[in-house]
Structure 1
Amino acid sequence: MPRDTLTQEQIVRTAVELLDDEGLEGLNMRSLGKRLGAAATAVYWHVKNKDDLVLLAADRVWQEIELPALDADDWRETATVTADRLHAMLVRHPWLVQAIGSHLLYGTGKARYDDHLLGVFETAGFTPQEADRAAGALVTYVLGNALGTSAVASLTRKLRRAGEDAEGMLSQTLAKAAEVAEPFPRLRERLGTSAAAEYGEAPDGSYAAGLRALLDGLRPGGADTAPGTARTAGDAAR
């Protein structure tokens, strides 16, 4: 595809697909150009470098999140939906958790989400400072829960690139973990059940239970909003 027929939209969309398949470590201009049917140099007419491309791709996936209407009467349900949709997006695009840890990300998609999340709490009567802290706690919680999916995806790609049997290696790791846990009764019991069948997986329902507990502890003017207890939503996602 000649450079004059490429658009930034095509490039960013294809970059997201490549990132979903290969992660941050698999994104380079040569691979991207191959997917686009264009020379790698043609991409540089539309994006400055790889970091710029990651920034654009990240903002595109933030735009995928459908934001619920604000509701002062049932703000916890609104916050739950807002968190769940962020979590689902991060699971669809596990490379974004990696990017948050290694790139300075910003853009209209992320700003749109952050602003709406602050609105969820301010509509419920939180002060701006309380809303900052509540939003920061929620985003940090969601990011932490998406980390396992991101780590497994990255590890699986790494093993496959090395020519290893990824599934077999993970099974061996679980077996070794069970041996290490043998002297510890609580771990031994859990590693012997189907709940431990997946590497890095939390027990079923952990995410929902934790989110419910977090939101139950938040209220306008509550003790949870003491100074320094949480970061702002923007800080948490950087």
Structure 2
Amino acid sequence: MATKARRTPRRTDALSRELIVETATQILDADGEDALTLRALTGRLSTGYGALYHHVANKGDLLAAAADDVIARAMTDVATDAEPRETLRALALSLFDAINAHPWIGAQLSQGPWQPALLEIYESIGEQLQALHIPEQALFDSAGALMNYILGVAGQNAANARVRADKGVDRTAALAAVAAQWARLDPARYPRLHKAAARLGEHDDRRQFLAGIDLFLAGIETVHGQGEDD
């Protein structure tokens, strides 16, 4: 006598968009974007496709919602009662940490400038630059350059960490291997890389990232910070 295939029990509590996004984020963090499928999500949530489609249109919509949620939480964690320069540094570092913790976000944010997460980041950076008395006509270039630096460096750092994790190589070993390669280069042709090789293994990614933020802010203030909108 043939036996019927056992069905996955359906959930009895209400399914919300928030729960769907939270579960999708867990899948993305653990296994990357390729692992996030609607089939995997229905299995994890013990629900059907119809229930998912009631809250999200497709995988692209789900990825965007997950990225928006992570970025919103990262920005909410930043105190806004500090001086504009310190607020910008804190905002940049919070985004760096969020992208490092969720490596898939870097690729997601590169999909297009219309995403809500990018709009919020740009608006927050622009607000603080305006508080630094950066002239109105310089805000577009200044905010755009600073945002591109934050997302670019954070995204690359997270991607490098993901590659190392996939290969089972820790950061110290990976940097030591690169430093050894640099040390073998012709010192007459690459004198600065030889000096950098000695410091590569001991450098801190977050500290180096913040050093870049300070350089950006110093440059913006030097070129544009005239204290008035002219």
Task: Give the structure-2-normalised TM-score.
Answer: 0.74
Task: State whether structure 2 residue 200 is matched by structure 1 residue 195.
Answer: yes
**Whole-Å Cα distance in 2 between the matches of residues 137 and 104 of structure 1?**
14
Deviation at residue 79 of structure 1 after TM alignment: 1.7
**Whole-Å Cα distance in 2 between the matches of residues 105 and 96 of structure 1?**
15
**Whole-Å Cα distance in 2 between the matches of residues 94 and 47 of structure 1?**
22
**Structure 1 residues 25 and 150, CA gap change in structure 2 (3 angstroms):** farther
Alignment match, 1:184: 186
2:215 pairs, out of 213, 216, 227, with 213
Task: State whether structure 2 residue 64 is matched by structure 1 residue 59.
Answer: no
Deviation at residue 171 of structure 1 after TM alignment: 5.1
**Structure 1 residues 181 and 102, CA gap change in structure 2 (3 angstroms):** farther
Task: Give the structure-1-normalised TM-score.
Answer: 0.72
Task: State whether structure 2 residue 143 is matched by structure 1 residue 138.
Answer: no
Give yes or no for contact 2:24–2:41 (8 Å, CA) kept in 1: yes
**Whole-Å Cα distance in 2 between the matches of residues 125 and 63 of structure 1?**
26
**Whole-Å Cα distance in 2 between the matches of residues 54 and 23 of structure 1?**
11
List gaps (5 residues or longer) in structure 2.
Answer: 1-9, 226-230
Q: Secondary structure at the match of 1:219?
A: helix
Alignment of 1:1-238 (within 5 A): 1-2=10-11, 5-40=14-49, 42-64=51-73, 65-66=75-76, 67-69=78-80, 74-102=83-111, 106-107=115-116, 109-156=117-164, 159=166, 166-167=168-169, 175=177, 178-179=180-181, 182-185=184-187, 186-187=192-193, 190-191=196-197, 193=198, 195-196=200-201, 205-219=207-221, 222=224
Q: CA RMSD in A?
A: 3.4
Alignment match, 1:162: none
Letter aligned with residue 129 of structure 1: Q
Q: Larger Cα Rg: Structure 1 or Structure 2?
A: 2
Deviation at residue 5 of structure 1 after TM alignment: 2.7
**Structure 1 residues 53 and 182, CA gap change in structure 2 (3 angstroms):** same
1:178-234 per-position Cα deviation (integer Å, ceiling 9, x unaligned): 35751333545654x57338xxx87673212221111111128629xxxxxxxxxxx
Identity %: 27
1:90-147 per-position Cα deviation (integer Å, ceiling 9, x unaligned): 112111101123456522x543332222111112222333122221121111122213
Give yes or no for contact 1:126–1:221 (8 Å, CA) kept in 2: no
